[in-house]
Structure 1
Amino acid sequence: MTPIGRHLTTDMYGCNRDHLTDLEFVKSAMLTSIKEAGLSVIDIIDHQTEPQGLTIIALLGQSHMSIHTFPQLNYAAVDIFTCGDYSHSDRVITILKRFLKPEKTRTTNIMRGDFGLQKDMKPRIRVSIAPLRRMRNTSARVWRFLRNR
């Protein structure tokens, strides 16, 4: 079965503090990036937190997007989940970067609904208990030897 959606989480570091406290600026940037990427907005909810920071959540025709700002850290956390065409979420993030101008970003890509079929979901390292047991047994033998002397 193919994945049903893609969830991108993007951490944006070193953003302009003034932009991160301006509700209208961030909301406008979010709406512009959504529309330019070809997605449709159903509803948008915003909240200004005290003493500073914003939370904006957009319900999209294709899923949802949220932005949480932390001006004291010059940081914004952006989540976007889209179903269908996975390129939309990449475009939204690219356009949003033009507005927030982060110095550094880190994006995590999560394929939703793949039911563990992706190779990257499998553990890469197999841990065996045998070496640990051998080491424990060896140290026990050394202690017995030293004790009997």
Structure 2
Amino acid sequence: MTSIGRHLTIDMYGCNYDHLNNLEFIKTAMLAAIKETNLTLLDLVGHQTEPQGLTVIALLGQSHMSIHTFPEQSYAAIDIFSYGDYTHPDKALTVFKKILRPEKTRMTNIMRGLQKDMKPRIRVSIAPLRRMRNTSARVWRFLRNK
């Protein structure tokens, strides 16, 4: 089965509060991850939320990468969607682990656009065919008995 792209979701628990609340630190981490995964950066936008936390989104030539931090919970949510055989989005996990040093990490790998999922689902009822078969069998029996 071939897919159009890969979507990784990474949950990081137990990260350092100061790192998760530092916009420049997170931007630097994301740039390192983009370089390591062989993705092409088109634009990088960051926003510091109040009273704490931030969001950084990278528009890539092969889709996007985002990170949302929740320092009060020592948690970071990272999404990476990419397509192309030459990209390696799973390498970003290694980079983010090394930089953010979480206590616990969970990664989910979602294959997007699988061909089997793209086929339309058609529901066929067999009842009309059975009725027709049974009717023709009754006609043949009737004719045979005459």
TM-score (structure 1 length as normaliser):
0.74
Letter in 1 for 2:24: E
Name the counterpart of 1:53: 53
Output the CA distance in 2 between the equivalents of 1:32 and 1:48. 20
Letter in 2 for 1:74: S
1:89 alignment partner, SS class: coil
Name the counterpart of 2:20: 20
- Alignment of structure 1 residues 66-145 onto 2, 5 Å: 66-85=66-85, 88-116=88-116
8 Å CA contact 2:66–2:79 kept in 1: the answer is: yes
Distance apart, 1:86 and its partner CA: 7.3
Output the CA distance in 2 between the equivalents of 1:101 and 1:36. 17
Name the counterpart of 1:120: none
List gaps (5 residues or longer) in structure 2. 118-146
Question: Alignment identity in percent?
Answer: 67
List gaps (5 residues or longer) in structure 1. 118-149
Letter in 2 for 1:62: Q
Alpha-carbon RMSD across the aligned residues, in angstroms, is: 1.4
Output the CA distance in 1 between the equivalents of 2:85 and 2:104. 26
8 Å CA contact 2:38–2:86 kept in 1: the answer is: no
Output the CA distance in 1 between the equivalents of 2:104 and 2:93. 13
Output the CA distance in 2 between the equivalents of 1:31 and 1:56. 11
Output the CA distance in 2 between the equivalents of 1:26 and 1:80. 15
8 Å CA contact 1:6–1:86 kept in 2: the answer is: no
Letter in 1 for 2:9: T
Q: Spell out structure 1 runs of 4+ moving beyond 2 A.
A: none
1:25 alignment partner, SS class: helix
The alignment of Structure 1 onto Structure 2 pairs a total of residues equal to 117
1:32 alignment partner, SS class: helix
Deviates most, 16-25 or 31-40: 31-40
Name the counterpart of 2:120: none
Distance apart, 1:87 and its partner CA: 5.7
Output the CA distance in 2 between the equivalents of 1:10 and 1:20. 15
